[in-house]
Every structure is written in structure tokens, then in C-alpha cells.
């Protein structure tokens, strides 16, 4: 889907021919909105389309008035996801992973790299309320975007519980947009129209069913 341009060597005096080198389509996500992706029920958050299944609770992370991330909670596990702008020609996960490791160390925790379903990830133990909590930091470099996922709770150690949240990561669709953005700038999200309407009706005191799973969510082992 995403091509790289290269110029063929031509004999002297011959017209230079520009060809597009095709990059094989990926077999699984996270997906870019500009490429074909699998069908699945998703919540449209503007800059991200988040897969949802029965039993999921979704919370939103806010930075001031801006929605910058989402948290999926299921059973005793949580998945926090943020999407950021990235340079066009190179990924930033290696750099971000080093920053995360340093942040964990500064907070009194420990971390080590390990191979995961999305490549190299960071397995950490982060102090929280006097207890070292296991956390997995996962990063995926996409075309002009970077997705950071944080798995905590039972799924940080239990492979079966983790599979559910890994499936969510695998089917996220990132909508980067064409506007200029600085590297590591958060891709802004928004509340779906139907959820926003339900919130407004509840705020006005109207008797409406509680159909809105979106609320301000906590930062889960947030390391910047």
C-alpha cells in the first residue's frame, strides 16, 4: 500500500526513469486509515478507531480539554493507547523505548526489553502505592504516526488475558490526517457524536439510559 520511490540507473544521455517500489501490504494492524483493514466493530474517536467488544469499559485520557488517549478495561486488565505524530521517513519507537526505560528507572522501577507479538517491547515493574506493578509498554511505528500501548493488571503477566487486549491493539485504526504536526505531538481524539449527545442529555437532567461508556480515565503508569 505504501510505496517508496527510487530512480533507476540509466545510460548517459538517456531519460531518467522514476519507479515506485511497492512495499508488501501488512497482514495485521494497527492499521492506517489509508490502507485496507479488517472489519470489526469500532468506536470512532476521530484520530483513532478503537475496537470494542461486549464487556469492555472505555475511558478517555484528557490533557486539559484535549482528549489524547483511551483506556480499555476488561476483567482485571487495562489497555491504555495513545497515538502520536511521527517523522515521515523513520520510526520513533527505539527512542521512545529508551525514554520509557529511563523514566521507569527514575521512578524507582525496573525494566527490560523482550520480544512480543508486535516486536521489541518493554516489560517493567513500576512502583504504585508502595507495590511494584507489572506493566508492558508496546510501540508500533506506522506511516507518519506512532502508537503507544500500555498493558497493566492481570494481562501484564497472563498470556490468555493479554491475548484479548493484544487483539484490540491489532485492530486499532489510526487516522493521522494531513495537517503538519511535530514529532511526538499527540493526535487529538474526540468523543463520538452519539456519546456526546447522551452526556449532554444527562447533564440537562433528562431521563436517558446510561449508554455512554466514555469518561475521563486515569493515566496508567504514564511515563513521558
Burial 118-146 (b: 16+ CB within 10 A, else e): beebbbbbbeeeeeebbbbbbbbbbbbbb
pTM of the predicted model, to two decimals?
A: 0.77
Give the whole-angstrom CA distance, residue 81 versus residue 195: 19
DSSP for 158-179?
-HHHHHHHHHHHHT-EE---SS
Give the whole-angstrom CA distance, residue 88 versus residue 99: 21
For the chain, the 3-state helix, strand and coil shares in percent, each to the nearest 5, are: 20, 40, 45
pLDDT of the residue at 222: 36
Bridge partners of 153, per DSSP, are: 77
Condensed to tens digits (0 to 9), the pLDDT of residues 118-136 reads 999 999 999 988 899 999 9
Give the whole-angstrom CA distance, residue 24 versus residue 11: 30
Smallest Cα–Cα separation from 151: which of 142, 160, 162, 164? 162
Give the whole-angstrom CA distance, residue 12 versus residue 187: 47
Helix (H, G, I), strand (E, B) or coil at 95: helix
Condensed to tens digits (0 to 9), the pLDDT of residues 62-103 reads 877 788 899 999 999 999 999 999 998 889 999 999 999 999
pLDDT of the residue at 135: 97
Amino acid at each position: 500500500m505504501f510505496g517508496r520511490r527510487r530512480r533507476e540507473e540509466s545510460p548517459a544521455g538517456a531519460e531518467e526513469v522514476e519507479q515506485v517500489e511497492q512495499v508488501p501490504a501488512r497482514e495485521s494492524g494497527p492499521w492506517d486509515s489509508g490502507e485496507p483493514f479488517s472489519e470489526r466493530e469500532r468506536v470512532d474517536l476521530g484520530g483513532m478507531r478503537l475496537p470494542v467488544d461486549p464487556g469492555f469499559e472505555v475511558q478517555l485520557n484528557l490533557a486539559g480539554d484535549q482528549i489524547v488517549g483511551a483506556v480499555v478495561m476488561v476483567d482485571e486488565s487495562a489497555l491504555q493507547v495513545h497515538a502520536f505524530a511521527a517523522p515521515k521517513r523513520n520510526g520513533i519507537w527505539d527512542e521512545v523505548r529508551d525514554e520509557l526505560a529511563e523514566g521507569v528507572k527514575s521512578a524507582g522501577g525496573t525494566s527490560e526489553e523482550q520480544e512480543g507479538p508486535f516486536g521489541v517491547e518493554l516489560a517493567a515493574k513500576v512502583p504504585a502505592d508502595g507495590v511494584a506493578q507489572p506493566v508492558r509498554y508496546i510501540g508500533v511505528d506506522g506511516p507518519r504516526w506512532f502508537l503507544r500501548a500500555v498493558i497493566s493488571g492481570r494481562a501484564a503477566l497472563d498470556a490468555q488475558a493479554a491475548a484479548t487486549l493484544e487483539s484490540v491493539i491489532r485492530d486499532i485504526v489510526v487516522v493521522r490526517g494531513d495537517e503538519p504536526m511535530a514529532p511526538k505531538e499527540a493526535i487529538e481524539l474526540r468523543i463520538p457524536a452519539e456519546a456526546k449527545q447522551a452526556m449532554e442529555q444527562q447533564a440537562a437532567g433528562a431521563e436517558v439510559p446510561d449508554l455512554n461508556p466514555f469518561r475521563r480515565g486515569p493515566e496508567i503508569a504514564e511515563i513521558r
